[in-house]
Amino acid sequence: MPVAIITGASKGLGAALAAALARRGWDLVLDARTGPVLEEAARGLDGYGTKVVALAGDVTDAGHRAELVAAAWDLGGLDLLVHNASALGAEPLVPLAELTLEGLRTALETNVVAALGLVQEALPLLREAAFGAVVAVSSDAAVEAYRTWGGYGASKAALDQVAAVLAVEEPGLRVWAVDPGDLRTDLYAAAVPGDDSGRPEPSTVVPGFLRLLDERLPSGRYSAPSLIPGPAAADGEVAR
C-alpha cells in the first residue's frame, strides 16, 4: 500500500484529500491540532479498509514532525507528503499596517518553517519510494496582491519558493505547489468572517490533486481547478 502524510487533515481540503486517497487504498498518517476532531475524521475513513494513524499535534513542534514520519515508517515507508496545515497570522485578516510581527512570525513558522522541517525529516523515506512526491498547498495570495492578505500571502510565496528549489535539488521527487482556489473552509471563514459568497466545497478540487499523482506531472506550481477537465477548470489559472 502507498503511504501518505497529510497535515491539517481534520477538516476541509486535508480531510477531502485523505478520503480520496483512502478510497484508492492508501495508508495514511493524519495530523491536526485538535485531537477529537482529527479522531472523528479518521473514524470516517474506517470503511475503506486502509490503515489510518491520527496524530494530534502542532507541525511547528519538531518532536511532532518526527512522530509523523516515524508513523509512516511503521506503515512501510512514505510515498507522498502533503503540507496542508496553515496559519493566517491574524483572525480576521488585517492590513499590513495593523499586522503584528508576532502574527507574521506565526504564519511563517507554520506555513514555511514547519513545512521545510517536515520535508527534511521525511526526505530519507521519500527518496526510497518508487514515486516520492511532495505537495505544498499554496494560495493565489502568494502571487496576487489582495488587501489584508499580505502576511499570509508572503508566507505562501515563501512556501512556493521552497517547493521550487526543492524540486531542483531533489530531481528524483515530484514537488508540486498547488493553489486550490477559493474554497468553503474554516480557514477562509476565520480570515473573512461574514463573507458568505458562494465558494465550492474542498472536495470539488481533489480531482486536480489526483491528476498530479496519476500522471506524475512535472514538478512546478499548479492551480488545482485548472487540472480538472471541463467547467471546473474555467476559472482556474494555468500551471506555472
Residue 122 makes CB contacts below 8 A (sequence gap 6+) with 5, 69, 72, 78, 81
Task: Establish whether 48 is a catalytic residue.
Answer: no
Opening angle at CA 208, ends 17 and 225, nearest 5? 115
Q: In what order do the strands lie in the sheet with 3-6?
A: 52-56, 27-32, 3-6, 80-83, 133-137, 174-179, 220-223
| Selected catalytic residue, list 48, 146, 152, 222 | 152
Catalytic positions are: 152
